[in-house]
């Protein structure tokens, strides 16, 4: 076993340990802000693993989209909300049946996907198996815009619908908000706002 | 085994060769900034420490290093200490992929632009965490402002990167620079002019520099997110801000102004005359120009009002970039010379 192999293993196991640990901390942490930050750490570790598998495009997009945008907004909301953790804990038992059903479904899905019939370990490429000029981005683009063109466009439409729904929920028509009109604002002259008054006491 | 160790040592030497000049550059960028703003405002600027005040940044660093670090008693201690590190780490890590000249990069990776963009989007975390962990109203307000602003301008910045990717057909920074070969008029600033302007404005906004420095806003919220920080912890925020400034300038030079390529390339008399100048000098000159622009902006404009920042980001820059991405794709499709061959 050469040094490069040892290094790869070391990187893999440390990222894997960080991923599992921070995912655990996300659910058991009492403070919601800390939970969100641990989730960020989990995304990071996942990125590390993906880059180890030479899928740098997916890894970097994970950082860009989830860490850079989604989690920032998430933190933004969580920080401004004053969430009472104790109150949430009291309803823990009430939601437990739903949680168990969801977890059971997830476990079944995982078992189905990772079963030998679908995921053959011998077919998986190990790290460092790709040629030097291999570009994950090109490969992904080729697959995405040929084999999966329709699902890709469908996903796009789904997001568009979500955007329109979100806007229509929060937008109450033009007259009801206090929007500034920049065209009018830049037309303001000094004479509109200031009146020069001569005071008698000024002359001495 | 021995060769592997040698490789690691070589990489470490390369990292030192990048980081040490970078830190010195930051120190003298602050000096340059104070001098330039001083001259712009008919003052002299720092001139007491050393000849022409040249040792001023060293004195500033020593002073910051010797100050006491105060951790507010009601703060979240752990996050409070970790926030400056969260700011400085991505700022330094981004330099790994920057090519300083042909073949002169620590890591020449294929997804270079994406890597830079991903790390750039992380810079807001230090600010957010610092603002929240300080447990102070002003710091929190600064953090919230920074988060909203960064998110808004990241989109415009992303679209200007998309334009570059379309034009160059690659995410590798070296390929992008080499695609611009052929002299001043072949660089991407001309065909991508709206994206260039958008990138620059978003870059200034991302680094929280004037006129977009609502996250600090001295006159409104004291010093924003780092109001509770002192000594070296404050210095780390300061350092990260200036490293990010240099970073944004470097990316602008690489993507839009031909990186290390000579501006006189292809001109009959001047081209051969300046052919001996190493590429890295041109790159540094271009970076310096952008840094001067940063300082010039700071000395010229008052701070933007918050709603105006949001308006500029969402209603002006994003539509402009969206339209221009379509224009660029048409240009690439019909192979408009000399840029999209």
A73 and A34 fall within a common domain: yes
Last residue of a domain, one of B41, B66, B91: B66
Residue A96 confidence (pLDDT): 85
A141 and A101 fall within a common domain: no
Q: Is residue B195 part of a domain?
A: yes
Q: Is residue B205 part of a domain?
A: yes
CATH of residue A41: 1.20.120.1200
Residue B335 confidence (pLDDT): 81
A135 contact residues in B (CB cutoff 8 A) = 110
> CB–CB of B129 and A64 under 8 A?
no
By Cβ distance, the residue of B5, B121, B148 closest to A69 is: B121
Number of domains composing chain B: 2
B35 and B118 fall within a common domain: no
Q: Is residue B338 part of a domain?
A: no
CA distance B53 to chain A (A): 40
Buried b (16+ CB within 10 A) or exposed e, A114-132: eeeeeeeeeeeeeeeeeee
Residue B250 confidence (pLDDT): 92
pLDDT tens readout for residues A100-116: 999 999 999 988 887 77
Phi-psi map region of B258: left, alpha, beta (phi>0 left; psi -120 to 50 alpha): left
- B13 or A82: which leads in pLDDT: B13
Note whether B205 and B156 are within 8 A (CB). Answer: no
B148 contact residues in A (CB cutoff 8 A) = 76
Q: In angstroms, rounded to a whole number, what is the distance separating the alpha carbons of residues B111 and A85?
A: 41
Query: Does residue B143 belong to the interface with chain A, where contact is any CB pair within 8 Å?
Result: yes
Note whether B308 and B152 are within 8 A (CB). Answer: no
> CB–CB of A60 and B122 under 8 A?
no
Q: In this structure, what token pair is assigned to residue B5?
A: 């160790």
A154 and A96 fall within a common domain: no
B134 contact residues in A (CB cutoff 8 A) = none
Interface probe for A, chosen from B78, B131, B132 (most Cβ of A below 10 Å), is B132
Residue A102 confidence (pLDDT): 93
| Residues 232-251 (B) with a CB less than 8 A from some CB of A | none
Q: Give the dihedral sign, CA B187/B193/B195/B197.
A: positive
Helical (H) or strand (E) element with B145: helix B137-168
B154 contact residues in A (CB cutoff 8 A) = 68-69
> CB–CB of B122 and A68 under 8 A?
yes
Closest chain B residue to the Cα of A34, Cα to Cα: B79
Kindly provide the residue ranges of all beta strands, DSSP E only, lying in chain B, ordered along the sequence. Answer: none
Closest chain B residue to the Cα of A37, Cα to Cα: B129
A14 and A70 fall within a common domain: yes
Nearest to B16 by CA among B28, B27, B26, B24: B24
Full pLDDT tens readout for chain B, 341 residues: 677 788 888 889 999 999 999 999 999 999 999 999 999 998 888 888 888 888 888 888 888 888 888 888 888 888 888 889 888 999 999 999 999 888 888 888 888 888 898 888 888 888 888 888 888 888 888 888 888 888 888 889 989 999 998 888 888 888 888 888 877 888 888 888 899 999 999 999 888 887 888 777 777 777 778 888 888 888 888 899 899 999 999 999 999 988 888 888 777 777 777 778 788 888 899 999 999 999 999 888 888 888 888 888 888 999 999 999 999 888 888 887 777 77
B108 and B45 fall within a common domain: no
B171 contact residues in A (CB cutoff 8 A) = 137
B12 and B149 fall within a common domain: no
B177 and B92 fall within a common domain: yes
A61 and A100 fall within a common domain: no
Q: Is residue A105 part of a domain?
A: yes
Regarding an ipTM greater than 0.85, the answer is no
Query: Does residue B68 belong to the interface with chain A, where contact is any CB pair within 8 Å?
Result: no
A33 contact residues in B (CB cutoff 8 A) = 132
By Cβ distance, the residue of B79, B119, B147 closest to A72 is: B147
CA distance B36 to chain A (A): 30
Q: In this structure, what token pair is assigned to residue A197?
A: 């008054």
Number of domains composing chain A: 3
Last residue of a domain, one of B66, B87, B119: B66
Q: Is residue B71 part of a domain?
A: no
Domain, as residue range, for B166: 76-333
Domain, as residue range, for A34: 9-83
B242 and B142 fall within a common domain: yes
B151 and B197 fall within a common domain: yes
B303 and B155 fall within a common domain: yes
Nearest to B213 by CA among B274, B129, B145: B145
Q: Is residue A2 part of a domain?
A: no
Residue A74: pLDDT over 90: no
A·B CB contacts under 8 A? 78
Give the 3-state secondary structure of B152-204: HHHHHHHHHHHHHHHHHCCCCHHHHHHHCCCCHHHCCCCCCHHHHHHHHHHHH
Q: Is residue B321 part of a domain?
A: yes
Interface probe for A, chosen from B124, B153, B175 (most Cβ of A below 10 Å), is B124
Q: Is residue A92 part of a domain?
A: yes
Q: Is residue B103 part of a domain?
A: yes
B4 contact residues in A (CB cutoff 8 A) = 2-4
Residue A125 confidence (pLDDT): 54
């Amino acid at each position: 076993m050469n040094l490069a192999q040892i290094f790869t293993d070391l990187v893999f196991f440390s990222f894997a340990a960080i991923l599992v640990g921070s995912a655990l901390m996300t659910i058991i942490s009492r403070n919601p802000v800390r939970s969100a930050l641990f989730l960020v750490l989990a995304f990071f570790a996942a990125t590390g693993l993906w880059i180890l598998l030479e899928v740098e495009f997916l890894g970097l997009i994970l950082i860009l989209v989830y860490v850079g945008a989604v989690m920032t907004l998430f933190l933004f909301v969580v920080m401004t909300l004053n969430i009472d953790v104790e109150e949430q804990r009291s309803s823990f038992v009430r939601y437990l049946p739903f949680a168990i059903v969801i977890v059971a479904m997830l476990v079944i899905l995982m078992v189905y996907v990772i079963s030998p019939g679908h995921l053959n370990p011998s077919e998986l490429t190990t790290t460092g198996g790709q040629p030097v000029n291999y570009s994950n981005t090109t490969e992904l683009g080729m697959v995405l815009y040929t084999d999966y063109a329709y699902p890709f466009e469908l996903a796009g439409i789904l997001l568009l619908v979500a955007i329109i729904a979100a806007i229509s929920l929060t937008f109450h028509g033009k007259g009801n908000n206090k929007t500034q009109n920049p065209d009018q604002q830049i037309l303001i002259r000094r004479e509109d706002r200031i009146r020069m008054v001569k005071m008698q006491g000024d002359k001495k | 085994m021995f060769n592997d160790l040698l490789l690691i040592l070589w990489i470490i030497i390369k990292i030192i060769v990048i980081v040490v000049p970078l830190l010195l550059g930051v120190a003298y960028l602050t000096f340059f900034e104070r001098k330039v703003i001083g001259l712009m405002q008919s003052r002299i600027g720092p001139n007491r420490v050393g000849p022409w005040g040249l040792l001023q940044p060293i004195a500033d660093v020593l002073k910051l290093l010797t100050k006491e670090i105060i951790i507010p008693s009601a703060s979240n201690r752990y996050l409070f200490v970790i926030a400056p590190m969260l700011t400085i780490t991505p700022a330094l890590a981004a330099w790994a992929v920057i090519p300083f000249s042909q073949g002169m990069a620590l890591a020449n990776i294929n997804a270079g632009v994406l890597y830079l963009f991903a790390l750039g989007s992380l810079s807001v975390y230090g600010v957010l965490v610092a603002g929240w962990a300080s447990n102070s109203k002003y710091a929190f307000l600064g953090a919230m402002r920074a988060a909203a602003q960064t998110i808004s301008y990241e989109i415009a910045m992303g679209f200007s990167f998309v334009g570059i990717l379309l034009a160059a057909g690659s995410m590798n920074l070296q390929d992008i620079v080499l695609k611009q070969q052929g002299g001043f008029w072949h660089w991407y600033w001309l065909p991508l002019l709206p994206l260039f302007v958008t990138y620059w404005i978003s870059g200034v906004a991302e680094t929280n520099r004037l006129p977009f420095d609502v996250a600090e806003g001295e006159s409104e919220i004291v010093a924003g997110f780092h109001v509770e920080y002192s000594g070296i912890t404050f210095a780390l925020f300061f350092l990260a801000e200036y490293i990010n400034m240099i970073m944004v300038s470097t990316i602008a030079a690489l993507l839009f102004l031909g990186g290390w390529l000579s501006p006189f390339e292809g001109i009959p008399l001047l081209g051969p005359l300046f052919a001996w100048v190493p590429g890295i000098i041109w790159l540094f000159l271009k970076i310096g120009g952008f840094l001067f622009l940063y300082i010039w902006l700071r000395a010229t404009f008052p701070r933007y009002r918050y709603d105006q920042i949001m308006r500029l980001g969402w209603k002006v820059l994003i539509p402009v970039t969206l339209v221009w991405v379509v224009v660029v794709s048409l240009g690439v499709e019909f192979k408009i010379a000399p840029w999209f061959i």
